């Protein structure tokens, strides 16, 4: 992590304008798309005193704030790009219905509230021109809003575009205003669009209105998100209506400042080693600035800058110390502390130079997240989980409390009623289905398992595996004090592990198994641990453990994931893992290194062709069907997958020969979602059983998508996985696609149970993570047929 951020900081252009957060080089940069009337200029930094959560005295770990996300993950404007992609219309077999029918029905409730609006509700969009032109956005807003009697009080204006809930009498309306200096200004308001409630722009507008409601509920903004004691939201168009998705999310804040850590390091290190130790400790971490509740990544340290240095603000020079005193009323006590650099990325208008990095004062920066020491502390993690791992009953209670607060808040209701909007007061009911439990095939034995249990390790005990590899030529490395156990590493030091893996994956390609001595220090669990290590070693040498029934013949499933190299300036690493046999128990794995900004599929085309050729070697034919699960797709990336990656995959397949035309499906897998589902079982609100499929009501009408809950969890609420079929020439019925996806969640050999995603996705993730974290080079091709990265 520190290496990645350090590499990023080296790429910072020299001579860029720098300044503290709150002094943007370009006033227009990074503006909210549809800001409310009277909103602040520039980057929206707060001009008031710090809120309650920004004051001194934060707890060491605080889980008392929960995230409210606007849009699909944090309200970024790019998230709405996904909303305009209609992939379902090209699939004839799901145009009429994308819902399956197999399985037993189950009644669920989802963390969604319907948004209510007036019948035929329309949002009117106007373009606003000023003559003479006015450069200041605040001045434009002030001049326009002199005409409340014409425009009304319900409006949203971003300096050029005006949104109103009603239509003005004329298509073009001319208004006259006057500045404080007596200058006459003519304002022309022209109707440009009438937006229905389902319009992507209208959806974004709903979120802007909801921002105002959140502020009325006294929620605090941290970074892009709003925090209150409990909740997170998303407003989007779903199957039958526009709904508010709401969930509970937490952000961990610490009372430790960056300055206190730097002071500790100064005492512990020799003076000549302090800069190196400080850089290694801090670069790459995320901090919260106490004066505006925004988060920043530390990219570098400005060793030649202190709070006494000055920067240009407008036409005058001001020191950092005086700036924070006059702007926020904050006193900087240590004038000798060096400043931190954060390479703030902002969208700016065309022709405007990008903003320079922000300079942060360590004394005013709090750490976020947990340290490794905290994560290894059982008591801290136990206390934290009591706040964050909510049962379905607790989660529903907090969601209902939040929506009730909206209904009871007079100011919030007035704002919503002005626009003719409101929210339903109950969770959305859903009809779902539970798929039948899968039968596990292991050697000559077939057994069923209880899906509510954590795994099937007891059922498989004592039975032969599908294929066991002989352990004939092997070496055991250990330290002298650990010579009585099978172990390589005396501790979990990353550098030692990386060294071993790099040598045995690149220089001397050999399957290897690393074990930490502490793992084997519990005699009562030694047999279980040794069994799991033996299974893992067997897989790495090409062995096969178990399988499930796969009715489709000549099918190859592929998993793709990506990772950003921690030591190569965010260089992308693409991993492709493909099945090689009918039982999905043998796998081909390939990892490619990508330049920063390069599309993942550019490098993986060759990997896919190699996977197809390896399939041909094992089966004497090419697969008739290919189903590709694409993981690692973030918000706003769906357009790239549909319009770039899918054509690249088709071209790659065609390159094998004109006569080869397999049927292809591409499925985007998404784990970072806020959707949650609850079932009433035995009179109590509980998690739905594993195998639950949701393909109605809360799915998107323009997509062929569904949710699957594949796991059983002991604590908290289970997280579903969202699947979006963006291309499909296989023509499989929704039932078959859903059943196959659930079956593949049973095929991950590093866990004797069901995992959250299909096995090829998890294998691809493990491979990309190993290369990005430890190897930093392309593994040897001699290991392509082995699961050496488990």
Question: Nearest Cα to 636, choosing from 67, 76, 69?
Answer: 76
Q: How far is CA 414 from CA 406, 408, 409, 421, in A?
A: 11, 11, 9, 10
Quote the CA–CA distance of 79 and 83 in Å, as a whole number.
8
Question: Using an 8 Å Cβ cutoff, are 668 and 726 in contact?
Answer: yes
Question: Using an 8 Å Cβ cutoff, are 629 and 559 in contact?
Answer: yes
- Residue 476, burial from CB neighbour count under 10 angstroms (0-12, 13-18, 19+): exposed
* DSSP structure string for 116-140: EE-TT--EEEEEEEEES----HHHH
Q: How far is CA 288 from CA 285, 367, 472, 583, in A?
A: 10, 6, 55, 50
3-state helix, strand, coil in the chain (%, to 5): 30, 25, 45
Quote the CA–CA distance of 613 and 628 in Å, as a whole number.
16
Quote the CA–CA distance of 762 and 565 in Å, as a whole number.
18
The position carrying tokens 């706040």 is 387
Question: Using an 8 Å Cβ cutoff, are 124 and 191 in contact?
Answer: yes
Q: How many CB atoms lie within 10 A of CB 178?
A: 11
Quote the CA–CA distance of 546 and 1 in Å, as a whole number.
36
- Residue 617, burial from CB neighbour count under 10 angstroms (0-12, 13-18, 19+): exposed
Structure tokens at 105: 């029905």
Quote the CA–CA distance of 501 and 495 in Å, as a whole number.
10
Quote the CA–CA distance of 586 and 578 in Å, as a whole number.
9
Reduce the secondary structure of 352-363 to three states and give it as a string.
CCCCCCEEECHH
What is the chain's Cα-based Rg?
Answer: 29
Quote the CA–CA distance of 530 and 524 in Å, as a whole number.
11
End-to-end CA, the chain: 22
Question: Nearest Cα to 293, choosing from 44, 38, 5?
Answer: 44
Question: Using an 8 Å Cβ cutoff, are 776 and 503 in contact?
Answer: no
Number of H helices and number of E strands within the chain?
Answer: 19, 36
Exposure on the CB side of residue 42, measured as CA atoms within 13 A: 11
Structure tokens at 376: 């290894």
Question: Using an 8 Å Cβ cutoff, are 359 and 19 in contact?
Answer: yes
Does residue 638 sit in helix, strand or coil?
helix
Catalytic sites, residue numbers = 561, 599, 631, 765
In eight-state DSSP terms, residue 467 is B
- Checking DSSP bridges between strand 663-670 and strand 677-681, what pairing results, if any? unpaired
Quote the CA–CA distance of 565 and 563 in Å, as a whole number.
6
In eight-state DSSP terms, residue 252 is -
Quote the CA–CA distance of 274 and 265 in Å, as a whole number.
7
- Sheet with 439-442: list strands edge to edge: 445-448, 439-442, 547-548
Exposure string for 286-314, b = 16+ CB within 10 A, e = fewer = ebbbbbbbbbbbbbbbeeebbbeeebeee
């Amino acid at each position: 992590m520190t290496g990645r951020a350090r590499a990023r900081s080296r790429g910072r252009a020299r001579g860029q304008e720098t300044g503290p957060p709150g002094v943007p080089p370009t006033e227009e940069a990074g503006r909210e798309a549809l800001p409310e009337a009277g909103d602040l200029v520039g980057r929206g930094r707060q001009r008031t005193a710090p809120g309650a959560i920004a004051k001194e005295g934060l707890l060491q770990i605080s889980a008392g704030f929960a995230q409210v996300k606007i849009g699909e993950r944090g309200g970024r404007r790019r998230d709405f790009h996904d909303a305009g992609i209609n992939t379902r219309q090209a699939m004839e077999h799901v145009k009429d219905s994308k819902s399956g029918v197999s399985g037993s029905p189950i009644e669920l409730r989802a963390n969604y509230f319907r948004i209510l609006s007036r019948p035929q509700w329309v949002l009117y969009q106007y373009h606003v021109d000023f003559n003479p032109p006015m450069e200041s956005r605040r001045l434009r807003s002030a001049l326009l809003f002199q005409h409340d009697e014409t425009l009304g009080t319900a409006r949203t204006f971003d300096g050029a575009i005006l949104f109103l809930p009603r239509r003005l009498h004329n298509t073009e309306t001319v208004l006259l205003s006057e500045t404080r200096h007596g200058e006459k200004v003519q304002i022309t308001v022209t109707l440009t669009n009438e937006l229905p409630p389902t319009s992507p722009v209208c959806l974004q507008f709903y979120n802007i209105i909801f921002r105002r409601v959140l502020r009325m509920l006294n929620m605090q903004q941290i970074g892009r998100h709003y925090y209150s004691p409990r909740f997170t939201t998303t407003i989007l168009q779903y199957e039958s209506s526009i709904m508010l998705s709401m969930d509970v999310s937490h952000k961990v804040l610490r009372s430790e400042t960056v300055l206190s850590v730097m002071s500790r390091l100064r005492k512990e290190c020799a003076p000549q080693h302090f800069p190196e130790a400080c850089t290694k400790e801090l670069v790459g971490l995320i901090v919260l600035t106490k004066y505006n509740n925004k988060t920043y990544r530390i990219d570098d340290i400005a060793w030649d800058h202190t709070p006494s240095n000055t920067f240009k603000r407008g036409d005058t020079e001001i020191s950092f110390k005086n700036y924070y005193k006059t702007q926020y009323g904050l006193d900087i006590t240590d004038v000798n502390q060096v400043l931190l650099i954060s390479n703030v990325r902002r969208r700016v208008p065309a022709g405007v130079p990008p903003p320079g990095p922000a300079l942060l004062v360590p004394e005013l920066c709090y750490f976020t997240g947990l340290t490794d020491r905290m994560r290894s502390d059982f008591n801290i993690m136990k206390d934290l989980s009591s706040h964050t791992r909510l049962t379905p009953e607790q989660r529903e209670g907090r969601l209902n409390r939040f929506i009730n607060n909206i209904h009871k808040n007079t100011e919030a209701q007035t704002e919503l009623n002005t626009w003719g909007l409101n929210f339903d007061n109950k969770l959305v009911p859903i009809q779902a289905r539970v798929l039948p439990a899968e039968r596990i095939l292991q050697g000559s034995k077939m057994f069923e398992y209880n899906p509510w249990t954590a795994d099937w390790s007891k059922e498989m005990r004592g039975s032969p595996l599908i294929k066991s590899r002989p352990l004939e030529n092997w070496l055991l490395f250990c330290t002298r004090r650990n010579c009585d156990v099978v172990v390589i590493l005396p501790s979990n030091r990353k550098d030692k592990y990386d060294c071993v893996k790099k040598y045995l994956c690149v220089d001397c390609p050999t399957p290897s198994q690393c074990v930490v001595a502490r793992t084997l220090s519990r005699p009562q669990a030694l047999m279980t641990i040794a069994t799991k290590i033996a299974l893992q070693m067997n897989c790495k040498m090409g062995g096969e453990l178990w399988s499930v029934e796969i009715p489709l013949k000549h099918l190859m499933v592929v998993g793709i994931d990506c990772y950003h190299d921690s030591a190569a300036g965010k260089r992308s690493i693409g991993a492709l893992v493909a099945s090689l046999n009918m039982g999905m128990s043998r796998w081909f794995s390939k990892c490619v290194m990508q330049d920063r900004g390069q599309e993942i599929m550019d490098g993986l085309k060759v990997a896919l062709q190699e996977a197809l050729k390896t399939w041909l070697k094992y089966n004497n034919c090419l697969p008739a069907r290919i189903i590709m699960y694409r993981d690692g797709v973030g918000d706003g990336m769906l357009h790239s997958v549909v319009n770039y990656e899918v054509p690249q995959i088709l071209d790659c397949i065609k390159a094998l020969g004109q006569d080869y035309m397999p049927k292809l499906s591409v499925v985007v897998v998404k784990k970072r979602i806020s959707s949650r589902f609850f079932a009433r079982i035995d009179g109590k609100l509980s998690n739905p059983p594993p195998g639950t499929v949701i393909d109605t009501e809360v799915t998107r009408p323009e997509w062929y998508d569904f949710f699957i809950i594949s796991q059983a969890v002991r604590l908290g609420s289970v997280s579903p996985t969202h699947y979006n079929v963006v291309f499909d020439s296989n023509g499989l019925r929704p039932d078959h696609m859903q059943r196959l996806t659930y079956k593949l969640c049973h095929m991950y050999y590093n866990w004797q149970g069901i995992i959250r995603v299909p096995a090829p996705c998890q294998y691809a993730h493990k491979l990309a993570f190993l290369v990005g974290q430890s190897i930093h080079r392309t593994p040897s091709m001699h290991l392509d047929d082995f699961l050496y990265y488990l």
